[in-house]
Amino acid sequence: MSARYGRGLLHLAAAVDRPGSFGAAPYVELAQLAERGGLDFVTLDDSFARPGPDALAVLSRVAPATRRIGLVPTLTTTHTEPFRVQAAVATLDWASCGRAGWRIDVSTTEGEARLFGRRPAAPADALWAEAGETADVAAKLWDSWEDGAEIRDVPTGRFLDRTRLHHVDFTGTAFSVKGPSTVPRPPQGHPVRVVDATEGPARTTAARYADVALVRAATPAQAAAVRQQLRDRAAESGRNPDTLRILASLLVDLGDGEHAAEPGHGGGGPRPTPEGPLYRGGPVDLAELIATWHTEGVTDGFHLTPVEPRRDLERLVNGTVALLQHRGLFRTFYPGSTLREHLGLARPANQYAVTGGTS
């Protein structure tokens, strides 16, 4: 009998990046495969610094081709408009009936700055502070329509109840936003905000605003240390640390099939590489690693980036996930329909609702 596992349910996510693909089909295929495995969500990275389609657009295209899996595109905050970012994420949440997330990232390079020509490149800590402000104002704008603000009241001829609509009047260091949003409050209240918290400047933003933090860690000890720090900082900023899911991020190369892991791999754990910790081995050993780390309580789950997208995701779903399901460690169907439900996160209360209307 396997040991009682971890602090809660195991959460699994996978990247569906496909460098060089600009059409819909390759992404739809991977997302459907991940959904067959019951994964919490898929991520699609994005950057102005390299070729690729707009990630939020791709996952919007994936939305009607899937039913349950969470959809988490990267949207950067440095050269984009906070108002547009929040509206796009809210719309993805509407289009997917409550499955949207947003992986927050920044643009640090001079090359990206030149594509916009509006501001010079800036240091990472300043950009992550701005990303935090964007995450903050996004949640305010999502709340700027209280649930049920659309009343369609025939006797008074009113379409909206303006007491349930709110200016956000946000003034940050690099931008200000008046509000309210033009998109009604999304189905999840707040779509899930995801931050890769591996680097220092991002960790503060993650602790304050993220629902899910990703940590690239090669050892359980490393993962546990970052996890503890994130939870402490979340508590310091007034949050309940249990509202933050922390997932270990690994690159996975399952090309060796069922063969024994190379020294330093598989059973020995992931190896650090410039791209992040890389697990190379078989799906069975990966299942063992996932079960062990989770049971030891060093992580709430894993975010896995297949090195060879189609091959490795297929082996992950049909091998690793099937095994975890067989051992009763991972869901075999989706009990909920929204990403928040998959993650065991409550739909947040509206920050404007308690005060009544003040618009």
Partner 1 sequence: MTVRRTVHLAARLPGDGRAAVGTDPCSGSRIAFASPAQQARTAERGLFDFLLLSEQLRLPEHRGRIHDLDAAGWPEPLTLLNALAGVTERLGLAATVHTAYSEPYELARRLATLDHLSEGRAAWHAETSSDAFTGANFRHGGRADARDRFAQAVEFIGLARQLWDSWTADGVSRPFAHQGRHFDIAGEFGLPRPPQGHPVVILAGDSDEDRECAAASADVLLARHRSVAAGRAFAADVRRRLAAYGRATEDLKIMSGVTVVLGDTAAEAQERAAEIRRQQITPQGALYVLERVWGADLCGHDPDGPLPRTDPVPDPAFTPGRGRHGDRVALAGTWRALAKEKGLSIRETVIEASGRQSFIGTPEAVAAELQAYVREDAADGFVLLPHRTPGCLEEFVDRVVPLLQERGAFRTEYQGTTLRSHLGLPDPPGEG
Interacting residue ranges for partner 1, rule: CB under 8 A: 22-24, 28, 48, 50-54, 56-58, 60-65, 79-84, 87-88, 90-92, 94-97, 111-112, 114-118, 145, 149-150, 152-154, 156-162, 165, 174-180, 182-184, 359
In the complex, what is the shortest distance from the CB of residue 89 to partner 1, in angstroms, rounded to a whole number?
Answer: 8
Cis peptide preceding 64, ω within 30 of 0: no
Q: Detail the DSSP E strand segments found in 170-256.
A: 170-171, 176-177, 192-196, 212-215, 245-253
In the complex, what is the shortest distance from the CB of residue 238 to partner 1, in angstroms, rounded to a whole number?
Answer: 28
In the complex, what is the shortest distance from the CB of residue 352 to partner 1, in angstroms, rounded to a whole number?
Answer: 13
Nearer to partner 1, 50 or 326 (CB): 50
In the complex, what is the shortest distance from the CB of residue 6 to partner 1, in angstroms, rounded to a whole number?
Answer: 35
In the complex, what is the shortest distance from the CB of residue 209 to partner 1, in angstroms, rounded to a whole number?
Answer: 20
Nearer to partner 1, 9 or 94 (CB): 94
d(CA 307, CA 267): 19
Nearer to partner 1, 44 or 286 (CB): 44
In the complex, what is the shortest distance from the CB of residue 124 to partner 1, in angstroms, rounded to a whole number?
Answer: 20
Other Cβ atoms less than 10 A from the Cβ of 355: the count is 9
Nearer to partner 1, 24 or 225 (CB): 24
d(CA 110, CA 116): 10
Nearer to partner 1, 78 or 249 (CB): 78
Q: Are 56 and 75 in contact (CB under 8 A)?
A: yes
Please give the radius of gyration of the chain, using alpha carbons only, rounded to the nearest integer. 20
d(CA 310, CA 303): 16
In the complex, what is the shortest distance from the CB of residue 204 to partner 1, in angstroms, rounded to a whole number?
Answer: 23
Burial class, 3, CB count within 10 angstroms (exposed 0-12 / middle 13-18 / buried 19+): exposed
Other Cβ atoms less than 10 A from the Cβ of 95: the count is 16
d(CA 357, CA 161): 9
Nearer to partner 1, 75 or 286 (CB): 75
70 DSSP β-pair partners: 41
d(CA 110, CA 240): 38
Nearer to partner 1, 146 or 253 (CB): 146
Terminal C-alpha separation, the chain = 58
